[in-house]
Amino acid sequence: MRRLAEACERIAGTTKKLEKIAIVADYLKSRAPEEAPVSAVFLGGRPFPAWEETTLQVGGSLLWKVVAELSGKSDQELTAVYRRHGDLGAVAAEVLPERRAGDELSVVEVQNCFHQIATARGPAAKSALVRELLSQASSLEAKYIVKIITGDLRIGLKESLVEEAIAKAYGGTLAEVQRANMLLGDIGDTLRFAAEGKLGQARMRLFHPLGFMLASPAESAEEALSYFENAVVEDKYDGIRAQAHVSDGEVRIFSRTRDEITESFPELPDALAGLPDDVILDGEIVAWSYLAGETGRALPFSALQQRLGRKKVSDEMMRRVPVAYVVFDVLYANGELLIDRPLRARAQLLDGLLAAERKLVEPRSREAQGQLRFEPREATTAKVIRSPLFVAASPENLDRLFEAAQERGNEGLMIKDPESVYTPGRRGKSWLKLKRELATLDVVVTAVEYGHGKRIGVLSDYTFAVLDGERLVNIGKAYSGLTDAEIAEMGKWFLEHTVEDQGFRLIVEPKIVIEVAFNNMMRSDRHESGYALRFPRIVRIRTDKLPEEADTIERVREIYEGQSSN
Ligand code: AMP
């Protein structure tokens, strides 16, 4: 662990990408075969490989308490140190006493402790194990143990650079390493394959989620059609992104954060289990009115919201808010990974797969009839629906499709390049999204304040930030547009994840992403970003997004410049 921490210090000490890669490559090569894979996982900022569902469930406040106890510092003293560093790992390095003499701690031992912490139940048991681990570490080791627990090393190293370092250290091209890592979902295993010269033998792990391909925003129909020919167009459904893995009748569904969400949608596995083949599908789960017209239609996101975050879903809830899985892509079928095939070919395969599924449609349920909203003609009860495809050759075509999509209750359009391959985890210009509210930003909550008037004593005012490189810079503050129940629930989370209590204001762990709408944007030095928003309002909590996926300062500049030239 000492060597890893020292390497991290050197990585933090240079801004040059190539130097960082070289340091990682040298370090990994210098490690014993059983240590290098674990080190690669840690360098990616994770306690466990990506595909493992294990989580530590150790929040900032628990760590804070342990560091306070071990150092004997008061809250005030710790807060003063935290202000200087803005990072709990750096605080630990400064205040923790040096290790008592004894054996060195290896990365494998640290990961074993992480496993124990993950399986321990309750904060007291977890605290005891974290305390034990930190007291065996030197202050420099503790710095990086704390950072790994919080899931962010903050040394300007992403997993993509670790991939480059593996290619450099063990041979193999970067593309081969990236592909193996994507298939295995484990940078440590990827390193093992590379070290043994077997990158080509890495195989897909079904039931371990792949990254999701992401879309870039287009500001207008003209722009949306400017990047490629023969655009394929789909409605943009306002639900939650979901990747379904199906094999031998077993079904698992994963969210965009790669968490398993199968339990939240008990009606979907049965519908998917009937597929003729082992598959991985990509689509959107939406609240669905089955009796609207021939094919049914999507209901607003607010309807779906009642179903989210529940472990147990009652029959009553399933009847009240029925859902459908609208599928728009297939990533694996016939024993073959399809992501390198063009969308055109994937779409055709998907048509075939879901046509077979449609034959398994159940008869219309009695309960559903009670929810009649529209004149029913052969209403569908298929819970897995192939998203309809359109083509658009001109901006006028696209505008008409946009209006039709909105009339169907959808958010806007997705415009896709039929020749494009599926790029997991990347946002490119092969998929573009055209939305109604152009001016919304996905931002990260950095601080919360107690409200006034009716919301006195309630954490209802959120300060939020956009990404500037790896840093977060505040851009605004909004009174929550959330419901009282949501505010109360979020308030609880924030209290548990406070890193600094300033009395009326809590600095919180930057983990929660919210979508904010606003009327326009101004230059202002009120916030660190140099911009401020006019009439910001919170549209919703983006539980499906990680803080790294928030909008960037570049996008803020684009919006600002776009509005001033109009
Ligand atoms: P946003 O969440 O605003 O960044 O927009 C991208 C999201 O739109 C994707 O992650 C999907 O969850 C969602 N989406 C809705 N309909 C589609 C579609 N037809 N194709 C791809 N993504 C879609």
Domain-wise residue ranges, the chain: 2-150, 214-435, 439-564
Give the distance (Å) from ligand 1 centre to CA of residue 255: 12
| pTM beyond 0.85 | no
Q: Are 169 and 29 in contact (CB under 8 A)?
A: yes
Q: Are 233 and 413 in contact (CB under 8 A)?
A: yes
What per-residue confidence (pLDDT) applies to 101? Answer: 63
b/e for 439-477, b at 16 or more Cβ within 10 A?
bbbbbbbbbbbbbeeeeeebbbbbbbbbbbeeebbbbbb
- Whether residue 361 is predicted with pLDDT greater than 80 in this model: the reply is no
Closest to 499 (Cα-Cα) out of 191, 32, 68:
68
CA distance 513 to 172: 37
Give the distance (Å) from ligand 1 centre to CA of residue 269: 22
What per-residue confidence (pLDDT) applies to 563? Answer: 63
Residues 6+ apart with CB under 8 A from 357: 271, 272, 274, 275, 276, 382, 384
For a ligand 1 pocket test, name from 241, 346, 422, 442 the mutation site with the most ligand atoms within 8 angstroms of its C-beta: 241
Per-residue pLDDT band for 77 (boundaries 50, 70, 90) equals very high
Is 284 a pocket residue for ligand 1 (Cβ < 6 Å)? yes
Per-residue pLDDT band for 519 (boundaries 50, 70, 90) equals low
Instruction: Dig out the tokens for 5 from the structure.
Output: 């921490």
Q: Does domain 214-435 have CATH number 3.30.2320.30?
A: no
Query: Ligand 1 atom 23: the closest Cα is on which residue?
Result: 236
b/e for 10-28, b at 16 or more Cβ within 10 A?
bbeeeeeeeebbbbbbebb
Q: What are 383-401's pLDDT values in tens digits?
A: 999 999 999 989 999 988 9
Q: What are 150-203's pLDDT values in tens digits?
A: 988 999 998 999 999 999 999 999 999 998 998 888 999 999 999 999 999 888
Mean pLDDT of 291-308: 79
Q: Which of residues 325 and 52 earns the better pLDDT score?
A: 325
Q: Are 29 and 131 in contact (CB under 8 A)?
A: no
Q: What are 14-27's pLDDT values in tens digits?
A: 999 999 999 999 99
Is 433 a pocket residue for ligand 1 (Cβ < 6 Å)? yes
Mean pLDDT of 535-558: 90
- Whether residue 375 is predicted with pLDDT greater than 60 in this model: the reply is no
Q: Are 434 and 221 in contact (CB under 8 A)?
A: yes
- Chain centroid to CA 86: how far? 23
Give the distance (Å) from ligand 1 centre to CA of residue 76: 45
Q: Which of residues 109 and 334 earns the better pLDDT score?
A: 109
Q: Which residues are identified as catalytic?
A: 236
Is 344 a pocket residue for ligand 1 (Cβ < 6 Å)? no
Is 387 a pocket residue for ligand 1 (Cβ < 6 Å)? yes
Is 414 a pocket residue for ligand 1 (Cβ < 6 Å)? yes
What per-residue confidence (pLDDT) applies to 294? Answer: 65
Instruction: Describe the crossing of helices 139-150 and 123-135 by its angle, rounded to 10 degrees.
Output: 150
**542 CA closest ligand 1 atom index:** 2
CA distance 318 to 309: 14
Q: Are 274 and 357 in contact (CB under 8 A)?
A: yes
Q: What are 235-289's pLDDT values in tens digits?
A: 999 899 999 999 988 999 999 888 899 999 999 999 999 887 889 999 999 999 8
Instruction: Dig out the tokens for 151 from the structure.
Output: 């899931």
CB atoms < 10 A from the CB of 535, how many? 9
Q: Does domain 2-150 have CATH number 3.30.450.20?
A: no
**234 CA closest ligand 1 atom index:** 19
Q: What are 444-468's pLDDT values in tens digits?
A: 999 999 877 667 778 989 999 999 9
Site of tokens 């599908």: 281
**Mean pLDDT for all residues in the chain:** 88
Q: What are 104-129's pLDDT values in tens digits?
A: 899 999 999 999 999 999 899 999 99
Residues 6+ apart with CB under 8 A from 322: 267, 287, 288, 289, 290, 368, 371
Query: Ligand 1 atom 21: the closest Cα is on which residue?
Result: 414
Per-residue pLDDT band for 313 (boundaries 50, 70, 90) equals very high
Give the distance (Å) from ligand 1 centre to CA of residue 376: 28
DSSP β-bridge partners for residue 515: 442, 540
What per-residue confidence (pLDDT) applies to 369? Answer: 30
- Between the CA atoms of 11, 15, 16 and 17, what dihedral angle is there, to the nearest 10 degrees? 70
Q: Which of residues 168 and 210 earns the better pLDDT score?
A: 168
For a ligand 1 pocket test, name from 414, 440, 443, 544 the mutation site with the most ligand atoms within 8 angstroms of its C-beta: 414
Mean pLDDT of 29-50: 95
DSSP state of 422: P
Name the fold adopted by 439-564. Answer: OB fold (Dihydrolipoamide Acetyltransferase, E2P) (2.40.50)
